[in-house]
Amino acid sequence: MQYRAFEPGIEILGAALMATFGGFGPLRSIVDRMLCREGLVDSGAPGDGVDVDSWYSQQAWLDALREVDERYGTEVLFSIGAEIPNNAVFPASPVDAHSAVQSIDIAYHLNHRRGGRIMYDAASGTMLEGIGHYGYERLGERQILTTCVTPYPCEFDLGIVATMVRRFEPTAIVEHVGSECRRHGAQACTYALRWG
pLDDT digits (tens, 9 = 90+) for 146-158: 999 999 999 999 9
Lowest mean pLDDT among 29-43, 89-103, 109-123: 29-43
Question: What is the model's pLDDT at position 167?
Answer: 96
Pairing state between β 117-118 and 112-114: antiparallel
Question: What is the model's pLDDT at position 4?
Answer: 96
What average pLDDT score do residues 18-22 get? Answer: 80
pLDDT digits (tens, 9 = 90+) for 68-86: 899 989 998 999 999 999 9
pTM: 0.92
Neighbour tally for 101: CB within 10 Å: 25
Question: What is the model's pLDDT at position 45?
Answer: 52
Q: For residue 163, which of 12, 55, 23 has the smallest C-alpha distance?
A: 23
Question: What is the model's pLDDT at position 26?
Answer: 67
pLDDT digits (tens, 9 = 90+) for 23-70: 777 666 777 777 778 877 766 555 557 888 999 999 999 999 999 899
